[in-house]
Each structure stands twice: as structure tokens, then as C-alpha cells.
Structure 1
Amino acid sequence: MTVDDGALMLDDEGEVHLSDSVPTTSNSADLVVFLTELPRLWRGRPLPAEIDSRRSAAVISVPACGTLGLRRNVTDLTVACIAGLAEPDSADETFRSVESRLRQWHIDEERDGKSILVATSQWGWVRMVTGMVRVNRPWRLVSTLKGVIAAAAATASFGIFYTSIWQMATVLSPWRLGLITAFSIAVMGTWLIVANRLWESRRSRSSAATWSLMYNTVTVATVFVGIATMYIGLYILTFIAGLVVIDAGFMTQQIQQPASLTSFLLLAWLSTSMGVIAGALGSSSDSYESILRATFGQRERERRLKQERDEDPDDEAEKSRQAD
């Protein structure tokens, strides 16, 4: 058995086609199992796996395996696909082991009788979306938001030095502080999506609405998870800074009640929310390309452009000469 990296061929609609991909692999292989980070659909339903017995090849969509127990899910699908390729006409127990009330094997006559594993419930969509968010690695989005973090940290620091914010933090109830947190994250998330044009418009393909909805859902989830990660980090730093800078006795005088650890926690909570709201303005100074690459739709477009350049290098060179 060998493991190698390679490119899967996409059609005009961004779908993986084994008929074009298999010839690009090693001819010495008895069978080939592709693992791809691309989402795959069949009639508007998530498609975790597909087996093409005629070409002794299978493709597994890793995002459709979700996030919990990912390694086990991918391993089970791989073993099932190998079993299906080895005995394509049998109801092998290993082949059927990945079936459940949530997903079933079908024979797709439109695709030359290929065996496809199709999600049969809404849970399949949940696994697909969470899997795509995991592939996006939203926590890495924080590293691209340098302007946001700088503006948020600068504004949050005001909460450490202004006594009026100390007083406000101790007066506000936890549920109101929670609403302020939700509002601040919503403001920044909306600003990032709108300012960086992350929203996917309908594309000229069949089932365009389904694809657009899926990509937009993943984009929103990725952005908000990234912001939540930044919020937690900024909260911890603000809390520590408050403990270091603010004297508990002086804080007691200003808020007219004994300053406790809870007082510092509430102060960091309010200050961080204020910082995140201000940080939305700093997002305009961040790299548009870096933020855009965090979305699945953009990465698909980049793959297709690269594929077009690889398929027709002469045409690409001609375009470059014309541009010069």
C-alpha cells in the first residue's frame, strides 16, 4: 500500500470525477482510494463516499465524516470502500458496516452504476458543515486579524484605566453582559463578512442554491468561531492585566463595594466586549486575501483556476503576454 498526494479533477460545477482522476494516479495500483477535503453532494444530499468498481477506485469526502471521531469515521469508510472494491457484487458485512439510519448505500445508475453512500437525514448536513469548518481551521483566522486584535486590545485597555467602566461592570447583570458579548461578536462577524465580501452569491450551476447555502453557512460558522477564539484570548489577557494594574483597595473605593475576584472578572468581560466592537473597525486594515482564503468557496475557485492553468499552459502564457 502506498500513500501519495495528488490532484482530483473537477468538472465545470466543481464536482470530483473519478473517470478523469484515476488516470492521473499510479497505473501499478490495484485499487485507489481518494481522500478529499472537498464537500460532495448527490441530489442535494451529502455524499460521504463513492465507489467506482470499473476503475477500481473510490473517493471519500472527509468533511462528511464530521469532527467527532474523525479518524475512526475515515478509517471505517476506507475499509468499507476497499471491501466494496474487492467484492463489488456481494453484500459484504464490512461493506455494509458503515450503513445506518443516517446514511445508506445506493446504486447510482446515472453514474454508470457506481455505489454511493448518501446521508439520509439532516444530521448528515450537520456533520458536513462542522467537518468543513474543521478543515477551514477557524482558530487560524485569528493570526490574520492583526488590525482587529490591535484595535480590540487598545479599546479593552481603557476598561483597566477608567473607573467609570469599573462601576458599570459591577452594576450590569450577567445576562446583560452576555447580551453585550453576543452583540459585539455579531457586529465584528457581520463586518468581516460584508467588508471582505465573503458571502457567496448564487453560481451558474444546477443546485446552486444548495451549494451557496452550504458555503455561506460554513463561512459564517468559521468567522464566528474564529472571533470567539479571539474573544477568549483577549478576555484572559484583559483579566490578567486588570489584576496586575488595578489595586484592589483603590477599586473598592471607586465601586463603593468590596473588590473581589468577581469584580475583576466582570470588568474584563465588559472591557473585552467593548474591545471587540472597536476591533471591527480595525478589520479594514487586515489582509483581504488572507481572510478570503479561510472560506471554502474561495479555495474551490483557486483549485479550479490552478487546474485550468495546468491543463492549458500555452493559453495562460498567451494571456500573460497580452497583459504585458
Structure 2
Amino acid sequence: MSSDDHSEQHRPEIVVGLVATPPDHPAQVAARLAAELADRLAEQVNADVRWTVQQGWGDVSPRRDGGAEALLDDLARRRADENWDVAVCLTDLPLHTDRMPLVAQTSAQRRVAVVSLPALGLRQLRAVRTVVPDLVGRLLTDASDQRVPPADWEPAGLTSRVPAIGRMVGEGHTGELRYVASRLIGRVRLLTGMVRANRPGRALLGLSKLLVGVLGTAAFSLTTSTIWQVGDALGGLRLAVIMLLGLTALVAWLIVAHDLWEKPDRETPAELARMFNVGTILTLTLATAVSYVVLFAGTLLAAALLIDTSVLEQTLKRPVDVTDYLTLAWIISSLATVGGAIGSGLEDEETVRAAAYGYHPEPGGWKDQKDR
């Protein structure tokens, strides 16, 4: 055995548990963070110990009624069962404290911390690379762990390095700390983070059947000269209203037909249900807007290929240019979207329900650390 191996074995070991709950988007972030967390802890906290990072999954449907405290209690039990020194939970639940977005919360007594990924905004992985090592170091220091030399963790340390964190509240000497975002910008960042965590691209793929049907409706509408005349008679304002009504009808019908609306109950507080519903609406709106752009581009290309300028001039009884083809694609795309709202009930239930923020299907292909 080499001297390096011998010295490595005699270095004190600190085991950090990294739990993702639910095991969906948070698991993706946790997997990427775990691959580099030990090196970051050695660099930022203490290089004289062996850092061991163990991953685990939390519940597919984490507790909603107790907020961060419930997550910390569950995580503390998990930490004790797994014999971890400290544990950090990454969650996609939008947490609040005093009606302000909660970014992270630590408990030195329980030796655990929770991080709300949506509150970090769009660049969540970059933020957790900074936040998690700091939280682990603070937990060990506040818990008076002798394996980590005492460090002067400035209260404003994270607030200056992580834009999502507005300020820290709580008593530093007790180790019960909450990192909160600003009331206005923090809420905007929280909503964008929720859409990011909800993966609108997955919702877009879930609407693939609907998009194919709408494209077929648009192709048929191209052959109807009456629609050409209707589009020519309508002004830009009316066309915009028709487009917005079509997109709104599609989003509303998807929510109603597939029961995506989260209702407050004993387990889901009203504030959390509202946040879930806003996240679902924003995700579906973004997915349907992208679908509309694809539909518009496809309709415009088809119109340019199929409708000769002379034919369109004969129908409209005036010279035409490229704006007429744009108007034609606009009216047909909007009408086809309204028709697509009716056909959205044909979508696969599971793929559409994935767009609901509070819905997390049982994952496949992954196995929890504690089940191995």
C-alpha cells in the first residue's frame, strides 16, 4: 500500500447525503451536482477530510402541507437511517416563508438543509454548485463538528454570490436559517424556475399528435378560398384577437379535459395550489405558443408552394405581395388552433398530465440508493 493510500484511509470521512424529491427534474440536477460535489467541498470547506457523496431519491409525491419544515423532518429521519453526517434535499416544490419565496433553509440541530430549485430561476445547476457546498460547510460549523475547522461564515456570503437570494433571516448562532428571495423579482424568478423545472419541451412532445392534427386542418383550410377572403377582410387587431382566443381555448381545454387543475385540500395549501396552477398554465402556454409558431411556419410554406400568386389575386381582386401570404397563414393557423382545442382530448393522458406541475409519474430506470 502506498503512503498516499495509507494517508487517505486515515483522513476523517464526512458523508453527505444528496436527496432529490420528487425524483424528476431534481434528480437530474442532483446527478450532475453529485459528480463534482466532493471536489467542491474539498476546495471550499476542508481539503483535509475525505468527502463522500451519496445520492438518494425522496418521495415521488413529497409532503406539501408542512412546507420546508416537513421536508427537513423527513430528511432528518432519512439522514439518521442512512448514517449520513449531513444531508441536503433538492426539491422542485415552490416554498414560501412570510409570503416570500424561500430559496434554502438549514437546520444545524437536524444537520439537514433544503434547496428549492425553482426559486433559483433558470440557471439552477450553476446556483446549486455555489449554494450546496456553502450550506454543508455552515451545517458542520454550526453543529460544532470537530472534523471541520471553525469558519466565519458571513451571513451575507451567499447573498452576494447567488443573485436569487435577497437576504438571510433567522439566528445564526442557532443554525436555523432561511435564505429568502425578494418579494417581486424573486416571484418572477420563481415562476421562470417552475417552468424550467416542469420541462415545457416534454409538454410540447406530448402535444405531437395534436400538432399533426392541426397541421392537417390547416392544409385543408388552404384550399378554401372563402378563408382567403375572410383573412383579407380582417385587420391585424382582429387577427391577433383570434390568435389569442385560439391559444387560450387550447390551453383551457387541455387543463379541463385532462384534469390538470390543482385544487386546494387538506394536503395542499391554497397558496401552493395557486403556484402549481400558474406553473401548469405557463408551461402549457409556452408549449402551445411554440406549436403555433411551428404551425404558422408550416402553413406559410405550404401556402407559398400550393397557391399561385395569380390565383390569390383573382380571388382577392387586387395585386398581392408577401404580406398577403403572411395574413393567410395567420388566419388559418389561428382557426386550426381553435379546432385543435376540440381534438386535444385525443392526446395520451399520461403525456399531457406530465405538464401539470403537481403531477410526478413514477420514474423508471432509476433505483434509490437505499434500495440497492
TM-score by length of 2: 0.71
Name the SS for the 2:359 alignment partner: helix
Which of 139, 160, 178 aligns to 1:85? It is 139
Contact 1:147/1:282 (<8 A) preserved: no
Going from structure 1 to structure 2, the CA distance change for 1:27 and 1:289 (only over 3 Å counts) comes to closer
Within the alignment, does 1:217 sit opposite 2:278 as a pair?
A: yes
Can you give the 5+ residue segments of structure 1 that lack an aligned partner in the other structure?
A: 304-309, 312-324
Whole-angstrom distance in 1 between the partners of 2:237 and 2:280? 28
Q: Residue 317 of structure 1 aligns with which residue?
A: none
Contact 2:106/2:177 (<8 A) preserved: yes
Name the SS for the 2:355 alignment partner: coil
Contact 1:80/1:96 (<8 A) preserved: no
Instruction: Return 190-199 or 165-174, whichever deviates more.
Output: 165-174
Whole-angstrom distance in 2 between the partners of 1:39 and 1:292? 19
Which of 248, 257, 264 aligns to 1:195? It is 257
Within the alignment, does 1:170 sit opposite 2:220 as a pair?
A: no
Amino acid at match of 2:57: A
Within the alignment, does 1:8 sit opposite 2:62 as a pair?
A: no
Which of 103, 126, 129 aligns to 2:166? It is 103
Name the SS for the 1:280 alignment partner: helix
Contact 2:130/2:162 (<8 A) preserved: no
CA deviations 1:274-297 (Å, max 9, x no partner) are 100000111111122221122121
Whole-angstrom distance in 2 between the partners of 1:43 and 1:6? 30
Amino acid at match of 2:245: F
Which of 32, 37, 40 aligns to 2:95? It is 40
Matches within 5 A, 1:67-78: 67=122, 69-78=123-132
Deviation at 1:30, TM superposition (A): 5.3
Whole-angstrom distance in 1 between the partners of 2:54 and 2:90? 10
Whole-angstrom distance in 1 between the partners of 2:176 and 2:236? 56
Deviation at 1:27, TM superposition (A): 5.8
Within the alignment, does 1:260 sit opposite 2:314 as a pair?
A: no
Contact 1:156/1:275 (<8 A) preserved: yes
Deviation at 1:123, TM superposition (A): 2.3
Amino acid at match of 1:33: V
CA deviations 1:151-186 (Å, max 9, x no partner) are 322221133211222222233222211111001001
Within the alignment, does 1:245 sit opposite 2:282 as a pair?
A: no
Contact 1:63/1:129 (<8 A) preserved: yes
Whole-angstrom distance in 1 between the partners of 2:178 and 2:265? 25
Matches within 5 A, 1:136-151: 136-151=198-213
Whole-angstrom distance in 2 between the partners of 1:297 and 1:101? 23
Amino acid at match of 2:214: A
Amino acid at match of 2:160: S
Within the alignment, does 1:65 sit opposite 2:120 as a pair?
A: yes
Name the SS for the 1:161 alignment partner: coil
Whole-angstrom distance in 1 between the partners of 2:162 and 2:187? 16
Whole-angstrom distance in 2 between the partners of 1:161 and 1:265? 16
Deviation at 1:4, TM superposition (A): 5.1
Amino acid at match of 2:95: R
Name the SS for the 1:38 alignment partner: coil
Contact 2:75/2:112 (<8 A) preserved: no
Name the SS for the 1:6 alignment partner: strand
Contact 1:47/1:119 (<8 A) preserved: yes
Going from structure 1 to structure 2, the CA distance change for 1:209 and 1:230 (only over 3 Å counts) comes to same
How many residues end up aligned between the 2 structures?
300
Amino acid at match of 1:223: L
Contact 2:158/2:165 (<8 A) preserved: no
Whole-angstrom distance in 1 between the partners of 2:273 and 2:295? 33
Contact 1:156/1:238 (<8 A) preserved: yes
Matches within 5 A, 1:127-138: 127-138=189-200
CA RMSD of aligned residues (A): 3.1
Name the SS for the 2:169 alignment partner: strand
Going from structure 1 to structure 2, the CA distance change for 1:4 and 1:256 (only over 3 Å counts) comes to farther
TM-score by length of 1: 0.81
Whole-angstrom distance in 2 between the partners of 1:79 and 1:209? 33
**Which of the pair is proportionally richer in helix?**
1
Name the SS for the 1:297 alignment partner: coil
Within the alignment, does 1:159 sit opposite 2:214 as a pair?
A: no
Whole-angstrom distance in 1 between the partners of 2:157 and 2:171? 20
Q: Residue 314 of structure 1 aligns with which residue?
A: none
Which of 67, 75, 78 aligns to 1:21? It is 75
Can you give the 5+ residue segments of structure 2 that lack an aligned partner in the other structure?
A: 1-37, 39-51, 143-150, 364-369
Identity of aligned residues (%): 29
CA deviations 1:72-121 (Å, max 9, x no partner) are 43333234424433544845253452577972211279xx7521112241
